[in-house]
Amino acid sequence: MTLKLKTSKTKLDMTTGPIMKLIVLFAIPMVIGNILQQLYSTADTFIIGNFCGPASIAAVGTSSQPLEVFMCVFMGIGTGVSILVSIYTGADDLEKLGNTVRTAVTFTYMAALPLTVLGIIISPAILRFMQVPADTWSLAVTYIRIVFLGFLGIMGYNMNAGILRGLGDSAASLLFLVISTIANIILDVVFIALLGMDVAGAALGTIIAMYLSWASSIIYIKKKYPELPFTVLPGSLNRESLVKILKTGLPLGFNNSVYTVGHIMMQSLINTQGSYFMAGASITGRIMGLSSIAITSFAAAMSTFAGQNFGAENYARLRKGGRIVPLYSGLITMGLGVIMYIFAEPLIRLFTKDPQTVRFALLCISLQLPFQWCYCVLNTILNLSNGIGGVKYSTMINVLMLWAVRIPSAFLINRFYDGHYVTFGVSISFIFGMIAALTFFRSERWREIVIRADMQEMKTQNIMAQ
């Protein structure tokens, strides 16, 4: 059974038309959405920094790592769902698309509820392993336990956003982020500034906003894609779809878990430098997030572009996109990085006026920001590989990047030079990762794409010559 999805103004067909125009059209809503998402995440830091103190900033910053431990595998599975949706969309196969979506919804509930309980129980042990200082400990535990209560909303929203990206609808997520961002900022002001709830208020505002986003995404999908058999509550699992989802998503989840453990190791080194350095590094993370808005946008666009064209067997177009998208995304990220570097200190002072925290944040930014474009090129190429089913390749690159480069270099810097420079290990790994990712274009999988593209172009030329 193959039925074509009804046309939607927000749904992009990536198999025809100018490649970069489509990539940019797909990426623009995500860029705006990423800005909003950064505002979403920085609202806590900004308001806490102005109404609480460095210890509270450090608590929110360090608590994100244990949350990622639990999110990483599921986020990989969500990306796997997005890849499968894009392939089935390109192939116009509504039956497999529907089975995938229904199974994804059911799996979300099956995974979220036990992970919520587990996270609340063991997250303090993870924070203890991360050597969280005594003045930050109780705040971090409070924040993370409350956020885990919103785990279902976080996972549900991210799964639905992945389904929409696979359909080629990147604009919809922008609406959901507008809703969650506005709600989060208002709730932060009420809970923190007016009621004085400190990090507990920040966590409560976050989970309420995420549940609103999840509910909005459900309503949108049901209204805009009535032909898609999307279910609100968990239902039956399609065994074939579940196997494909896990086969595609688990390697990506493993990739994410490796990456997250690496973050925890890095955060452990950062935590040994004290609360002021922790706060500076946390603020740096927010600013780095703003400077990298093009990275996730172009990477997601590349994944959808690759999946749809691979599903449609449009190999010549796939080869062309693989050449130009990493180049343009890297250049755009480089330009954004220059702008952020120029305005780094005023941006930092929006979060804190503490001179020590400002000094450490400036140091971290100077060590990382100039090399972030390398990560953009790396990430775009890896998403090209993921989009055509080469998920094991990206896992291998990330394992090497983290465990062979980032962690060892950071430990060496801490041991033999100065612990305040440990974040330079991140930049070293970006450079290595980009060089390693470029080898994908010499892989057997890409050579097959090139051969098929050559055959398609020769066939087209012969038709035109007749």
Whether 143 is in a domain gets the answer yes
Structural tokens at position 460? 């087209």
Whether 55 is in a domain gets the answer yes
Whether 327 is in a domain gets the answer yes
Look up residue 439 and give its DSSP letter. Answer: G
Sign, Cα dihedral of 204, 150, 85, 97: negative
At 9 the pLDDT is 52
38 neighbors 290 (Cβ within 8 angstroms) = yes
At 40 the pLDDT is 65
Q: What is the pLDDT of residues 159-209, one digit of tens each?
A: 898 888 888 887 787 788 788 888 888 998 899 888 888 888 888 988 999
What residues contact 414, with CB distance under 8 A and at least 6 apart?
Answer: 269, 272, 422
Look up residue 421 and give its DSSP letter. Answer: G
Whether 3 is in a domain gets the answer no
At 429 the pLDDT is 93
Rg (CA), the chain: 22
What residues contact 139, with CB distance under 8 A and at least 6 apart?
Answer: 55, 56, 59, 198, 199
421 neighbors 362 (Cβ within 8 angstroms) = no
* Domain around 369: 19-461
The 3-state DSSP class for residue 31 equals helix
Share of the chain above pLDDT 90, in %: 20
List the Cα angle 225/228/230 in 5-degree steps. 100
- The whole-angstrom separation of Cα 322 and Cα 339 is 27
Give 258 or 409, the one with higher predicted confidence.
Answer: 409
Nearest to 213 by CA among 256, 168, 150: 150
At 6 the pLDDT is 53
Nearest to 79 by CA among 171, 158, 167: 158
What residues contact 430, with CB distance under 8 A and at least 6 apart?
Answer: 371, 372, 374, 375, 378
Structural domains counted in the chain: 1
- Residue 1 pLDDT > 50, yes or no? no
Look up residue 232 and give its DSSP letter. Answer: S
Sign, Cα dihedral of 132, 138, 143, 148: positive
Whether 6 is in a domain gets the answer no
Q: What is the pLDDT of residues 82-118, one digit of tens each?
A: 888 888 888 888 888 888 888 998 988 888 888 889 8
Whether 255 is in a domain gets the answer yes
Q: What is the mean pLDDT of residues 350-370?
A: 90
Whether 10 is in a domain gets the answer no
At 435 the pLDDT is 95
40 neighbors 52 (Cβ within 8 angstroms) = no
Whether 11 is in a domain gets the answer no
Q: What is the mean pLDDT of residues 216-230?
A: 87
